[in-house]
Amino acid sequence: MAGAGTAGHGPLAGVRVVELAGIGPGPFAAMLLADLGADVVRVDRPGGAGLAIDPAYDITNRNKRSVVVDLKSEHGAARVLDLVDRADVLIEGYRPGVAERLGVGPDSCHARNPKLVYGRMTGWGQQGPLAQRAGHDIAYIAPTGTLGMIGNPGEPPVVPANLVGDYAGGSLYLVVGVLAALHHARASGAGQVVDAAIVDGTAHLTSMIHGMLAAGGWQDRRGANLLDGGCPFYGTYETADGQYMAVGALEQQFYDEFVDLLGIKDQAPARKDVSRWGELRDTVAARFRTRTREEWTAVFDGSDACVAPVLSLREAPAHPHLAARGTFTDHGGITQPAPAPRFSATPTSVRSGPAQPGTDAEAVARDWDVPHLIKEDRISDGLTRDGHLKDGD
C-alpha cells in the first residue's frame, strides 16, 4: 500500500467549488472534484448532517475545507452568496425547493454569479410526481429495473450496498454533468443548473442491457442471463475454506484455459449448450470446493482464465496488483482508496484528511476574499471565529 506521497494538484487546480453539506452522493461527488484538484469549501450546518459518521473518519470530506454557516440565521444566505460570488461550481442535495427557501437557490446564486454551475443532487429529480418524496439509494434503484436484475432466481433481489444508486447513478453523473457544464460556462460565459437524479443515472447505467433486451439477448428475470449469474462461467464459487472465487471466462479462449486449469476439461459439458448449464455449474462448483481460495489463486495466477479471489474490504489493500499500483493509500492512519483515475501530467493525491467542521473559516475568508465569514457580526449569529458553535448554542 502506498503512502500519501507528494501532493499532486490535479487537473482541476484553480476550480472553486461550494458544497452545501449533505449526506451520500453529494459529498462523494464533491470529494471526486476535490481529489481532482478543485478547491472545495464545504458549508457545514451547525450540529452536522444526519447519518454522519465521526468527521475525523469521513473520507468523503478529504481534500476539502470546511466552514460552518447556519443558513436559517439572519445572515446565513448572505455568507454563502459571498462564496458563490467567487465560485465556479455549487453542489447541493436538498429536496427540491429547499435551497430556494433558504435563499441560495439557482436564481439567487446566478444573480450574483451568472457563470456559476449549479449542481443539484437528488434521488427523484427536480420534477416528477415523486420529486418531494423522501428516499434512500435502495428506493431509487428499485423502480429503474436495476435492483430487480441483481440476485438469484426465486430469491429476493440482492442489495448492492449503496454503490449502484448513490455513487454510480448519482455522484458520477453529477460530476460528469458539472464538468460538462463548466466547460460550457468557460466557453460561453453562461452558467446553468445540472439536475442529477439517481433514478436517471441508474437507469442510464442499464443502457446496454436494454439494447440486449430489445434484441432478444436478455431475459427480464434474474439469474437467466450471461452477465447476471445465470451463466456458469460468469459467477462466484465457494472454496474448501468457505471463501469464494470469481469467474468471468466468457470468451472461448478464456473458457478453454479456465476448464483446463480447473481440471474439468474432459468432463465439462459444452459451454454453448444452455440446456446443460445447470450440469456445468454443478461440475464447476464441486471442483472449486476441493481446494482453498489461496490454492486456487495460485493455480490461476498468471493465466488468462479470468479468475480472481473474492476479497473483503480489509483484505483488498494487500492484493499484490492493487498494492503495486497504489490503488489504496494511507493518510492520517486511515487506509482508503487513492484518487482515481490517474493523470500523466496533472497527478492527484490525498492532500489532506477529512475536513473538520468549521476549522478552515479564516483560511477560506482570506483565500476567497470573503471577510464576512469571520467578522464580528458572525459571532452574534452563534458562531465563533473558527466556525464552531459557541458553547451553549
Q: Give CA 141 to chain center in angstroms.
A: 15
The C-alpha cell at 125 is 429529480
Catalytic residue annotation: 136, 166
The C-alpha cell at 63 is 481534500
CA gap 153, 169 in Å, rounded: 24
CA gap 85, 113 in Å, rounded: 5
| Edge-to-edge order in the sheet of strand 244-248 | 234-238, 244-248, 307-309
> What is the DSSP code (8-state) at residue 270?
P
CA gap 59, 315 in Å, rounded: 19
The SS3 assignment for 109 reads helix
Strands 117-122 and 2-3: unpaired
CA gap 126, 120 in Å, rounded: 8
- Amino acid symbol at 47: G
